[in-house]
Structures are given as C-alpha cells and as structure tokens.
Chains A and B, each alone.
Chain A
Amino acid sequence: MTIEEGAKFVAAAYAIILAVLVLYYFLSARRVNALTRDVTLLEQEVRRRRGEAGGE
C-alpha cells in the first residue's frame, strides 16, 4: 500500500474520532446549560409558591 492510499484510511479514521468526540463534547455542554437553566427556573417557581403559601 502506498503512503497516499494509507493516508486516505488514516484521514477517515481520525476524522471520525475527532467528529464524534467534538460532537459529544458540545452536546453534553448544551445539556448541562439546558439542565442548569431548568433547575434555576424550577427553584424560582418553588420559592414563588412557598412565598404564596406563606402569605396566605
């Protein structure tokens, strides 16, 4: 196998590795941001309801 032929396989393998790892990294980062926002909103809602219950 020539270097040129081998290089095509090597490039394909490393492209798959980098694409999958980078994609997973950004997807999990997005997941963290979304869940953190959900927690903040839900905590606000819990505080609001407790405030309403305390005022009654």
Chain B
Amino acid sequence: MKQLVSAPMLFVGAGIFLIVGLLLAFLYAPIDASTMGYSQKIFFYHAPIAETALVAFGVAFVAAILYLRSQDPKWDRLGVVCVRLGLLFSALVMATGMIWGKAAWGTWWDWEPRLTTFLLVCFLYVAYFVLRSVVEEEERRATFAAVFAIIAFIDVPITFFATRFLPAGMHPTVITTSGTGMPGSMFVSFFISMIGMTLLLVALIRRDLGVEELKDRVADLKNSIGG
C-alpha cells in the first residue's frame, strides 16, 4: 500500500514534462498571429487540463461499468477518485477559460456549445457527489453512483465534439482529422504539456486511491475495536 500511496516518480515525471512544456510555450512557440495574441499562451495548459478532465471522467465511466459487473469496491473507489479529480481539473478549465475568454473575446462567459456543455458536465459530476452523500448503505451508494456515472458520461463526448458538430460557437477547433491547426513549435509545446498533465492525473489517481484505501482501513479497524 505504501508504494501505491507515494508514486513519487510519476509526480517527478509530470513535473519535468510540465516545466519543459511551459518553457517551450513561452520561449519556443511563437506568439499567436490571430486576434488572441499573447493571451493564446494560456492554451498550453488550458487545453491539456481540459483533455485530462475528460479522460478522468472516461476512467470513472469504465470503473462504473466494472463495478456493476463485479460489485468489487475497488472500482467504486476508482470511480470516486476519478470524478473528484475530473472536477478539480474542470474547475481549472473553467477558471482559465474565463480568463482567456475575457482576454480574447472581451467577455468572461458566453453560452456557446463548448462552454455550455462543459458547464453541464461540471454540474452532472457535482450531482454525483450529492447522490453519494444521500445514500447511506455502502453497496447501494456504490451501485447508484456507478449508474449515475455512466449516465453523466453521455455529456463528455458531446462536450468534446461540440466544436466540431456545432461550429456556431466562438470556441476554436484546434485538432481535427486534417491536422493540428497550429505551427509545429506550438504543437510540440502543447504535446509535452499534455503528457505532463496526463502523468499528473495518473499520479494523483494513484495517491488518492491510496487515501481511499487508508480510509477504508481506518473504518475497518474502528469497527473491529467497536469505535
């Protein structure tokens, strides 16, 4: 369990990739030629954080299916951890997105498809924790949460593809089937930040899983001594 909790190499690896990605974003990638100008530098962490949040919700979706198939509590723990981290990353996406929106579009918020569907994702996964808090019995709570996580995930691909299928919004589509839509130096900076953010997510999942296991162990020990 100790090894599961620490996972220090993943944090070190994530830190190295994120620092290198940031340095490349500011020192190697050119200033965006469009109206966004220098504020486009926000993209190099904003987009990887957004992708990572959606990946976390994706893992929670898979964990929910595995829980319903096996009733093994480890999948419920993985689901809780991934939804919590997905929400953390989503909050960062919303905050940095609003700052970027104010700089690039002159407004903090716009009800365009990508932003609206992403906000809906956030509300859905907040509701996941509300649901968990109102069901006391452990197995029922895990089952309801798993079903809810599967339903909530429906909005994740809608959010991802919103800019592709509903192009009326202001949010740009950067990566398409025909290319990345950005110079090579920008893509390298973005890609390295993406690797760093994904490693950070994996490291945090491993650590938080350790926290959940420790919480269960404390509960078991308290039960065994009648406390």
Contact = CB atoms under 8 A, between A and B. Distances in A.
B221 interface: yes
Contacts, number: 91
Interface residues on A, range: 20 to 34
Contacts of A38: 214, 218
A12 B42 CA distance: 9
A28 B218 contact: no
A20 B210 CA distance: 21
B92 A20 contact: yes
A28 B211 contact: yes
Given A1-B38, A16-B96, A17-B49, A35 B214 contact: yes
A9 B214 contact: no
Contact of A49 (B31, B103, B207, B225): B225
A10 to B, nearest CB: 5
Contacts of A28: 204, 207-208, 211
Interface in A27-45: 28-29, 31-32, 35-36, 38-39, 42-43, 45
B20 interface: no
Contacts of B35: 1
Nearest to B97: A13
B91 interface: yes
Contacts of B70: none
Interface residues of B, number: 36
B102 interface: yes
Given A17-B49, A17-B92, A35 B211 contact: yes
B91 A20 contact: yes
Q: Chain B: interface secondary structure?
A: helix
Contact of A32 (B102, B200, B214, B217): B214
Nearest to B208: A28
Interface in A13-30: 13-14, 16-17, 20-21, 24-25, 28-29
Interface of B: 5, 11, 22, 31, 35, 37-39, 41-42, 45-46, 49, 88, 91-92, 95-96, 99-100, 102-103, 200, 204, 207-208, 210-211, 214-215, 217-218, 221-222, 224-225
17 contacts: A1-B35, A1-B38, A1-B103, A3-B31, A3-B38, A5-B38, A9-B99, A10-B41, A10-B42, A12-B99, A13-B45, A13-B100, A17-B45, A24-B88, A25-B11, A28-B208, A32-B214
